[in-house]
Every structure is written in C-alpha cells, then in structure tokens.
C-alpha cells in the first residue's frame, strides 16, 4: 500500500472514496464537510437524510462510518465519519483511530483520500492526528494483507490536507 500526503482540495481527488469529516447529523456543516457537500451537489444531502432515516436515526456516533455515493465528485463514494471533539472532552485516541479504521472497512475501495480528521475546529493537534492516522492505516494494511493478496485490496491512501502547515506536519510524522 502506498501513502501520499498532499496540500490540495479533497473534493478534486480522483480516488475510489473520499472521507468526510462529518458531524453526527450528516446534514452538512463547515470546513471539509461543507466543501464536500457543495462539490457533490444536493443529491449528497438527500442520501445523508436517507442514511439518517434508515440506519442512524439518532445520528452517526463518534468513530463510526457510513458510505454514500459521491454524486458529482470524481470519487465514487463518500465515507462519512465523525471525529472526536477534544473541546467536548472526547480525548481518547482510540476514538480517532476508529474513524480511520471504520472508514477503510466501509467499502472495498482500492484508493481512499482522508482529511485531517478532528484537527482544526475539533481541537486535536495535527501531529497527534497524523500519528494516530498512520498507525490505524498501517494496522489495517497489516491485518488485511492476506485478503489483499486475493482481491487486490487497498492500494493507495492519500492524506489530502487543506493547509500547508498541516501538510508539513503530516510529512514530518511520516518520515520520522
């Protein structure tokens, strides 16, 4: 599996799936969530409403993930996950790791693009997010390597970061 880190707009990535750092309502918001909803078009909001109606009527729990089509995005799927909010006392790195793991098992994607889940408005330090993300992705890759030999498996994970500072931090952590 290859890992790439880039300073770019996640909504433009031509991968099987992009991960949305969603809120539990799944009904859009600011930051990455708002950008993905705008780029995917109104069909994404309707799909999220259907997920809420049928699968998570009380909202998507922190650390869980669900999938919708990508609609107008280059990506086939959008994987929605709710990161822990440090400001709300959600400080367990296992919750953050769950976001990355659950996103990878949600669909059989060969290529996935992640944002810096919970860094930013949810108050997590970008270095800690990078460490948790790389560990979770590495653990997933190791655990699924036998299955990958049979079905092709996950080939590419991109970390597509909105700020140059966060991009530099992720690169630094990956190289250490």
Number of domains in the chain: 1
14: domain CATH number? Answer: 3.40.220.10
Predicted local distance difference test score (pLDDT) of residue 148: 43
Q: Which domain holds residue 133?
A: 2-175
Residue positions counted in the chain: 176
Q: Is residue 10 a contact partner of residue 160, using CB atoms and an 8 Å limit? A: yes
Catalytic residue among 9, 14, 33, 125: 33
- 33 as an active site residue: the answer is yes
Q: Which of 72, 142, 148, 83 is nearest to 109 (CA)?
A: 148
Taking only the tens of pLDDT, the chain with its 176 residues reads 999 999 999 999 999 999 999 999 999 999 999 999 999 999 999 999 999 999 999 999 999 999 999 999 999 999 999 999 999 999 999 999 999 999 999 888 999 999 999 998 999 999 999 999 999 999 987 776 544 433 458 999 999 999 999 999 999 999 98
Run of H or E including 119: none
Tell me how many degrees the CA angle 32-139-16 measures, rounded to the nearest 5. Answer: 45
């Amino acid at each position: 599996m290859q890992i790439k880190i880039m300073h770019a707009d996640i909504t433009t990535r031509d991968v099987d799936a992009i991960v949305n750092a969603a809120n539990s309502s799944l009904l859009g918001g600011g930051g990455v969530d708002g950008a993905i909803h705008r780029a995917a078009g109104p069909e994404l909001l309707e799909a999220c409403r259907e997920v809420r109606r049928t699968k998570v009527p009380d909202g998507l729990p922190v650390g869980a993930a669900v999938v919708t089509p990508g609609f107008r995005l280059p990506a086939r799927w959008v994987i929605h996950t709710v990161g822990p909010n440090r400001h709300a006392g959600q400080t367990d790195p296992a919750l953050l790791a769950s976001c990355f793991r659950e996103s990878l098992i949600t669909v059989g994607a060969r290529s996935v693009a992640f944002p810096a889940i919970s860094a930013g408005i949810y108050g997590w330090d970008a270095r800690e997010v990078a460490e948790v993300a790389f560990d979770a992705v590495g653990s997933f890759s190791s655990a699924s390597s036998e299955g990958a030999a049979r079905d092709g498996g996950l080939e590419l994970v991109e970390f597509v970061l909105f700020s140059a500072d966060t991009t530099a931090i992720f690169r630094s952590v990956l190289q250490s």
